[in-house]
């Protein structure tokens, strides 16, 4: 029988459409009545935020290629125009579902719980009077209504800002007809305003509702006929030609100022906005490729996330949990001694991120510590880890930090922390020209009685304490000599002009990780053909790389059992006879964002397990500095395999990808309800005696 063409378009799922399917799975959490009510609202907001970024980056990039006349086809054979058309159709359905969820389910449920989002017909006389005073006191002073005529052109509209187009009737102060005006809401104004009152149940009003109710106060002597919300999404990708600049930080600072005014890619309007006004808005943004989405409610549902913080109702949120702590670290102040005893593996958020912060703080204060080196991709504002690095630098230790300035949407925060570190005396570098530094590495060099010892932390997630309570990730503490050597060599590569290092334990991108993955998949195929045990379990955020997918197809054809846990985008199409019938793909969407990358190869009975910072995407393999590290301690291997088995057994929050490219929620049937995340919470957060 002839071998199938593994590159054939019908064997692949479009990357962009796969993302929209992932965002649908996120939105489904908002529909799920088993999820606490305010958490459902939060999932709705997350789905809207995800869609914003999708338009700002992915759709904007496609439209830019279309304008430039690009003719390349996606892996599934779709042209750019076909992709954009399909995206619009799928995104339209998604937006409709978002507002259906809000209007038909969440708003009535919130009102039933005593925390309504009130519209003017629902305002009591007391609430109406208070809101009018609030408008006059807090809102009106910062609004600047802009009439539109030849002397007053259409204003520049910032990316994702809240705006109103107002239709007027009458004469203005200059005795000219004044038909339209624009009102821009400054970002300094809160988008959700709680009504005064005591207790945990209180109503809220959206800023957009307040402005629309009292907008007439901005136009003395002129009748307001209508006031309609709109919002513009712009291309927010930054471009910096690193070969043509002298200072990456200064170049990015300049680009950030322009991000708010990139080319227009999406226009959202309230569904009651008249057609002629919608067409007028479209004309102002001078884009032949502008997508328009009428919405049945307030634009930018992501701003409703403020309700979650305003309403102190623990009964409407996930139960608070206390992360567990490894036995060796409870009651022990010496984290170095604990690491010398044997490697430590942490699983966040089920286990605390505090040991990572304690490791840095102890290193900063320990007179025996000579040097600290760390990569920072996303650390956030006011990071305690940066505080510790500053303290170490001020204490005279040699501190080197690789700050990735181009971490998308964290550029400004990373510029600020790099300035702060430099002012404290740390050496701050920005990685290798042309490659983002995405590896998660921390190295502490310490002088001890036996000589110099290197202590390392390697992770699958960012050094971000808040993310560590929301994202699932693994982190390994070790003072293994070979790993210490490798991490040292990697930092030399990142800070100097050294050649590509020869690594003993670690594997890095862009040198070697892609080849390693392809080689190990090919090895599994050989084991299967020889009748030896052959199995692959791979957990990641995204699977897009064409060569990796082909290698998975070849391994499947050889008889390798392949189980993929891919949270987000997956371009592989499982279950195709003769191609991928031995491959299963599932996605888990729940309380925590599944972020860890884990790769298991059965290897004929001599299994290997790796954790990594990289997904299986071209950018991670070829355009980023990434690191994969082996898990060698048997107890740790068993732990991670148990974790993976829970993910593969989940029947509460798991979705299965079919050969048709559609996801179906895995049916529980008669089986016991099993949520991997709930099981892991119960296991890891049970206390120090549970997991060592």
Catalytic residue set: 438
- The strand pair at 663-665 and 146-147 is best described as unpaired
Q: Evaluate the omega torsion of the peptide bond into residue 510 and state whether it is cis, within 30 degrees of 0.
A: yes
> Which of 654, 639, 30 shows the shortest CA–CA distance to 324?
639
Nearest to 443 by CA among 497, 363, 501, 341: 363
Identify which of 66, 664, 595, 688 has the alpha carbon closest to the alpha carbon of residue 329. Answer: 688
> Exposed, middle or buried: residue 620 (CB in 10 Å: 0-12, 13-18, 19+)?
buried
- 402 DSSP assignment: E
SS (H, E, C) 290-314: CEEEEECCCCCHHHHHHHHHHCCCH
Q: 114 CB contacts (<8 Å, ≥6 apart)?
A: 200, 201, 202
Given a contact cutoff of 8 angstroms between Cβ atoms, the answer to whether 679 and 312 are in contact is no
Q: Return d(Cα 406, Cα 378) in angstroms, integer.
A: 10
Q: In Å, what is the CA distance from 156 to each residue of 93, 134, 238, 292, 395?
A: 30, 27, 19, 18, 48
Q: Which of 584, 567, 587 is nearest to 575 (CA)?
A: 584
Q: Give percent helix, percent strand, percent coil of the chain, each to the nearest 5.
A: 40, 20, 35
- CA dist., res. 461 & res. 290, Å (int): 36
Q: How far is CA 432 from CA 427, 438, 489, 493, in A?
A: 15, 11, 14, 8
Q: What are phi and psi of 277, to 5 degrees?
A: -75, -35
Residue 146 per-residue DSSP state: E
Q: Which two tokens stand for residue 131?
A: 């809101």
Contacts of 17 (CB under 8 A, 6+ apart): 83, 86, 87, 90, 661
Q: How far apart are the first and last CA of the chain?
A: 52
Query: How many other CB atoms are found less than 10 A from the CB of residue 523?
Result: 17
Q: Which two tokens stand for residue 74?
A: 């996606």
Cβ contacts of residue 244 below 8 Å, gap of 6+? none
The answer to whether residues 380 and 352 touch, using CB atoms and an 8 Å cutoff, is no
Q: Is 331 left (phi over 0), alpha (psi -120 to 50) or beta?
A: left
Grouping H, G, I as helix, E, B as strand and the rest as coil, residue 657 is strand
The phi-psi region of residue 691 (left if phi > 0; otherwise alpha if psi is between -120 and 50; otherwise beta) is beta
| DSSP type of residue 425 | T
Helix axes 676-684, 634-649, angle to 10 degrees: 140
């Amino acid at each position: 029988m002839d071998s199938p063409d593994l590159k054939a378009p019908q064997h692949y799922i479009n990357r962009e459409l796969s993302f929209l399917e992932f965002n649908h799975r996120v939105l489904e959490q908002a529909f799920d009545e088993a999820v606490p009510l305010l958490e459902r609202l939060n999932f709705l907001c997350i789905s809207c935020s995800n869609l914003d970024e999708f338009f700002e980056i992915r759709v904007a990039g496609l439209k830019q290629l279309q304008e430039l006349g690009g003719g390349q086809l996606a892996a599934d054979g779709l042209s750019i125009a076909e992709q954009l058309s399909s995206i619009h159709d799928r995104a339209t359905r998604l937006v409709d579902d978002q507002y259906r969820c809000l209007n038909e389910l969440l708003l009535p449920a919130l009102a039933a719980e005593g925390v309504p989002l009130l519209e003017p017909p629902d305002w009591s006389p007391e609430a109406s009077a208070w809101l009018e005073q609030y408008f006059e006191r807090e809102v009106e002073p910062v609004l600047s209504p802009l009439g539109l005529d030849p002397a007053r052109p259409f204003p520049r509209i910032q990316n994702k800002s809240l705006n109103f187009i107002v239709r007027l009737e009458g004469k203005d102060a200059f005795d000219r007809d004044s038909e339209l005006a624009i009102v821009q809401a400054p970002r300094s104004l809160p988008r959700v305003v709680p009504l005064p009152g005591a207790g945990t149940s209180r109503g809220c009003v959206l800023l957009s509702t307040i402005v629309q109710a009292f907008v007439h106060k901005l136009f003395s002597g002129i009748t307001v006929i209508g006031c309609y919300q709109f919002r513009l999404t712009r291309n927010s990708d930054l471009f910096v030609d690193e070969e043509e600049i002298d200072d990456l930080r200064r170049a990015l600072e300049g680009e950030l100022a322009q991000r708010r005014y990139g080319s227009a890619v999406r226009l959202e309007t309230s569904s009651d906005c008249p057609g002629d006004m919608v067409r007028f808005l479209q004309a102002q943004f001078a884009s032949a490729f502008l997508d328009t989405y009428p919405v049945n409610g307030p634009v930018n549902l992501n701003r409703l996330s403020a309700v979650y913080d305003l309403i102190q109702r623990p009964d409407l949120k996930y139960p608070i949990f206390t992360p567990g702590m490894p036995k060796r670290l409870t009651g022990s102040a010496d984290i170095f001694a604990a690491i010398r005893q044997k490697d430590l593996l942490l699983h966040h958020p089920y286990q605390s991120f505090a040991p990572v912060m304690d490791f840095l703080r102890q290193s900063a204060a320990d007179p025996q510590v000579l040097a600290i080196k760390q990569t920072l991709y996303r650390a956030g504002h006011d990071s305690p880890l940066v505080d510790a690095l500053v303290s170490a630098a001020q204490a005279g230790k040699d501190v080197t930090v690789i700050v990735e300035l181009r971490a998308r949407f964290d550029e400004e925060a990373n510029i600020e922390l790099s300035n702060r570190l430099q002012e404290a005396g740390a050496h701050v570098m920005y990685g290798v020209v042309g490659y983002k530094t995405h590896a998660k590495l921390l190295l502490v060099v310490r002088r001890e009685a036996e000589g110099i010892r290197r202590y390392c932390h390697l992770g699958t997630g960012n050094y971000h304490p808040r993310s560590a309570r929301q994202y699932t990730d693994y982190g390994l503490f070790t003072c293994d000599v070979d790993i210490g050597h490798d991490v040292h060599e990697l930092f030399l590569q990142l800070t100097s002009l050294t050649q590509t290092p020869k690594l003993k334990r670690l594997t890095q991108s862009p040198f070697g990780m892609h080849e390693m993955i392809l080689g190990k998949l090919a090895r599994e195929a050989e084991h299967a053909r020889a009748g030896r045990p052959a199995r692959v379990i791979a957990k990641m955020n995204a699977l897009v790389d064409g060569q990796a997918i082909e290698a998975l197809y070849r391994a499947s054809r050889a008889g390798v059992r392949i189980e993929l846990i891919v949270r987000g985008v997956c371009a592989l199409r499982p279950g195709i006879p003769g191609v991928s019938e031995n491959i299963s793909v599932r996605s888990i969407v729940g309380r925590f964002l599944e972020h860890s990358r884990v790769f298991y190869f059965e290897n004929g009975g001599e299994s290997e397990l790796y954790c990594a910072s990289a997904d299986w995407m071209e950018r991670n393999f070829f355009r980023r500095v990434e690191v994969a590290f082996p898990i060698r301690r048997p107890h740790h291997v068993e732990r991670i395999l148990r974790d993976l088995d829970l993910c593969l057994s989940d029947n509460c929050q798991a979705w299965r990808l079919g050969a048709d490219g559609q996801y179906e929620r895995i049916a529980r049937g008669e089986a016991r309800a099993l949520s991997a995340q709930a099981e892991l919470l119960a296991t890891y957060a049970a206390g120090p005696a549970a997991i060592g």
